[in-house]
Chains A and B, each alone.
Chain A
Amino acid sequence: MPNDIVVGKAAPGCKKIDPIVVASNVTRQFGGNLAVNVEHLEIPRGKITALIGPNGAGKTTLFNLLTGFDKPNTGEWTFEGKNIAGVSSYKVARRGMIRTFQLTKSLNAMTVIENMRLGAQKQRGEGFFSSLFSFLWKGEEARITETADDLLKRFKLDAKREDYAGSLSGGQRKLLEMARALMSKPSLIMLDEPMAGVNPALTQSLLEHIKGLKAGGTTVLFVEHDMHMVRHISDWVIVMAEGKVVAEGEPNVVMKDQAVIDAYLGAHHDTDLGTMKKGK
């Protein structure tokens, strides 16, 4: 397969042909613990990139830093060529870099469709004075609702349209959060453990959705512990450990890297616990 992602050889912090995010010297310290210490990192545009690593590797903290939900001790990063270090989280989102959360943040006391509508940006009806006059935002609201209904259908949540988000199952909330993030047509979507708590029957369709995003031109960056998912859909894998980027590469290459396997995935990551016992 011709390499259309990386300039030169794949290595931690390597240059990409067309990066959407470029981060340098990003550090975040919690007390004596250096949670994130990334020298250089580039996320390829239009690809699905997986961010993996053991618990406490700093993946979510890096997400929080990049999206403005946390402040770094040092570091610079750009999104679509523009510096967004120190920009507040809502402005980052407005630029088209939307994230989801590891602990799903569905708005439980609102209906599914209202959750979706909230995802649309630059709504005229969200200004205080125009909110009072419904003729100013009725048309826009109808268009937003149409987009929302389309997405709900794609994510098989259309039957739940009028239900409160709090009544959905954990996996459905994950889907809702992802669908809501797509309402603003982001150029980069960052999913923090999209598979956690999603039942296996839904996993396959979720994977298809993520592939579909890529086909639609959206860049995807996701944190995941499910190695099957990583192998199945990602174009590029970044491995973090103890705050640092320790390996990068195409999934089949990174997964075969013995050091990565032993240290970060576990030597027996692919074996069933039952057979392991028998083997010994």
Chain B
Amino acid sequence: MDLLLTLNLSISELVSPLTAAYILCAIGLSVHFGYTGLLNFGQAAFAAVGAYGMAIGVLTLKLPLLAAMGFALLCVVVFALILGIPTLRLRADYLAIVTIASAEVFRYLMSTSGFSEVTGGSNGLSQFGYEFYTWNPVPKGQYNLGLFTWTEEEVWLRLVAFSLVALSAVLVWLMMRSPWGRVMKGIREDEDAVRSLGKNVFWYKLQSLIIGGLFAGLGGIIFVIAMSNVQPSTWVTTFTFMIWTVLLLGGAATILGPIAGGMLFFVLLTLTNELLDGLRAIGWLPFLDQPQVAQIRFILIGLALMLLVVFRPQGIFGNKKELRFNA
């Protein structure tokens, strides 16, 4: 087993565009759950709406890529309104049920053959992202950055993805230090108290759902540009729960939590996978075969999530006084 290669692969996850996509989704979830207390278990759907919105914008509506991205974000807003208007009057736990169900509904709608002209059915969509690389200002060539060597396209994708992450983090910081953010935190604590002080709680919760959804939509866009295709099978509940793990790992009501949590999570995910696979290859784990190795890391994630919630609910950066599980 090549330990150096394993380490290199793991560390490259720090700046992988997929990591950035998950981080964006987790930043959105921190707005929903961390700051407003909305139990959203359908974050995959917001990302999926963003991803499909952009792909359909390019392929069916023949929009330029940038306009298709705008269209995708508009779709996210509409999705948030459809989801939020009937459900945000409900208690937090009901919202959790509705969001998880709506994420599944959306995924099945995308994979059904009835709409495959537009959605690509279970095959998904591809060939919508070429224009992204025509914007690339990075000169052609191989870029050697010590540990990794990237092409100009790989550099450009990472640059965009992590600029979006930085921008989103700054935006959330600006929002949450303001009186607007104070209302959100108040709603997380006790929405009746906030209502009694004359704030339109429903409207604030809807704003939270939309804004957090938009970050996830951006995450979905980055995800499918990096993959260069959209698959319905990507947006399963596992996707949502990986976002939750990322968020809780870093700290739910923090700015840097989703970023650090995302980086740590994907480094560990790759590291465990490579290590287990390496150990299996040299015969140390005779009871596991290769597909089992790929599965066992998700068992470990589940275990890690449970331990996290029990022993460190505030995450790496969180303030224990500020965040307990009371939503």
Q: Is the CB of A131 within 8 A of B174?
A: yes
Q: Is the CB of A110 within 8 A of B193?
A: no
Q: Is the CB of B195 within 8 A of A107?
A: no
**Residues 116-161 (chain A) with a chain B CB within 8 angstroms:** 117-119, 121, 123-128, 130-132, 134, 137, 141
Interface membership of chain B positions 185-198, coded 1 if the CB is closer than 8 angstroms to chain A and 0 otherwise? 11011101111111
Which residues of A have CB within 8 Å of B324? Answer: 109
Q: Is the CB of B175 within 8 A of A93?
A: no
> What separation, in Å, do the CA atoms of A107 and B180 have in the docked complex?
16
With A107-B186, A125-B180, A166-B321 already in contact, the answer to whether A94 and B196 are too (CB < 8 A) is no
> What separation, in Å, do the CA atoms of A110 and B185 have in the docked complex?
8
A67 close to B (CB within 8 Å): yes
**Residues 142-196 (chain B) with a chain A CB within 8 angstroms:** 171, 174-175, 177-183, 185-186, 188-190, 192-196
- Chain A residue nearest to B319 in the complex (CB): A109
Q: Is the CB of B178 within 8 A of A134?
A: yes
- Chain A residue nearest to B179 in the complex (CB): A125
Q: Is the CB of B182 within 8 A of A118?
A: yes
Which residues of A have CB within 8 Å of B171? Answer: 132
> What separation, in Å, do the CA atoms of A109 and B181 have in the docked complex?
14
B201 close to A (CB within 8 Å): yes
Which residues of A have CB within 8 Å of B179? Answer: 117, 123-126, 131, 137, 141
Which residues of A have CB within 8 Å of B174? Answer: 131-132, 134
> What separation, in Å, do the CA atoms of A119 and B179 have in the docked complex?
11
A98 close to B (CB within 8 Å): yes
A218 close to B (CB within 8 Å): no
Which residues of B have CB within 8 Å of A130? Answer: 180
Which residues of B have CB within 8 Å of A164? Answer: 321-322
With A107-B189, A107-B190, A127-B180 already in contact, the answer to whether A89 and B321 are too (CB < 8 A) is no
Which residues of B have CB within 8 Å of A128? Answer: 175, 180, 207, 211
B199 close to A (CB within 8 Å): yes
> What separation, in Å, do the CA atoms of A128 and B177 have in the docked complex?
12
- Tally of B interface residues using CB under 8 Å: 31
What's the minimum C-beta distance from B207 to chain A, rounded to whole angstroms?
6
A180 close to B (CB within 8 Å): yes
B200 close to A (CB within 8 Å): yes
A16 close to B (CB within 8 Å): no
What's the minimum C-beta distance from A62 to chain B, rounded to whole angstroms?
16
B323 close to A (CB within 8 Å): yes
B199: which of A114, A117, A126 is its contact (CB, 8 Å)? A126
Which residues of A have CB within 8 Å of B196? Answer: 67, 69, 89-90, 93, 98-101, 105, 181
Give the most central of B188, B190, B195: most A CB within 10 Å: B195
Which residues of B have CB within 8 Å of A126? Answer: 178-180, 182-183, 199
- Chain B residue nearest to A115 in the complex (CB): B186
Q: Is the CB of B186 within 8 A of A118?
A: yes
> What separation, in Å, do the CA atoms of A3 and B310 have in the docked complex?
63
What's the minimum C-beta distance from B76 to chain A, rounded to whole angstroms?
16
- Chain A residue nearest to B324 in the complex (CB): A109
> What separation, in Å, do the CA atoms of A123 and B181 have in the docked complex?
12
- Chain B residue nearest to A117 in the complex (CB): B182
Which residues of B have CB within 8 Å of A123? Answer: 179
> What separation, in Å, do the CA atoms of A235 and B194 have in the docked complex?
30
**Residues 22-80 (chain A) with a chain B CB within 8 angstroms:** 67, 69
What's the minimum C-beta distance from B193 to chain A, rounded to whole angstroms?
4
> What separation, in Å, do the CA atoms of A98 and B180 have in the docked complex?
21
> What separation, in Å, do the CA atoms of A126 and B178 have in the docked complex?
7
Which residues of A have CB within 8 Å of B195? Answer: 69, 89-90, 93
With A109-B323, A131-B174, A131-B181 already in contact, the answer to whether A94 and B189 are too (CB < 8 A) is no
What's the minimum C-beta distance from B173 to chain A, rounded to whole angstroms?
10
What's the minimum C-beta distance from B80 to chain A, rounded to whole angstroms?
14
What's the minimum C-beta distance from A148 to chain B, rounded to whole angstroms?
12
> What separation, in Å, do the CA atoms of A147 and B128 have in the docked complex?
56
> What separation, in Å, do the CA atoms of A124 and B201 have in the docked complex?
16
B198: which of A93, A124, A127 is its contact (CB, 8 Å)? A93
A108 close to B (CB within 8 Å): yes
Given A109-B188, A137-B179, 6 additional A-B pairs, CB 8 A: A90-B200, A110-B186, A114-B182, A126-B183, A132-B175, A183-B197
Closest CB pairs A-B (n = 9): A125-B179, A131-B180, A93-B198, A131-B178, A105-B193, A107-B189, A94-B198, A126-B179, A121-B198
Residue numbers of A with Cβ under 8 A of B are 67, 69, 89-91, 93-94, 98-101, 105-110, 114, 117-119, 121, 123-128, 130-132, 134, 137, 141, 164, 166-167, 177, 180-181, 183-184
Q: Can you identify 6 A-B contacts, CB atoms within 8 angstroms?
A: A69-B195, A93-B196, A93-B197, A109-B321, A118-B186, A126-B182
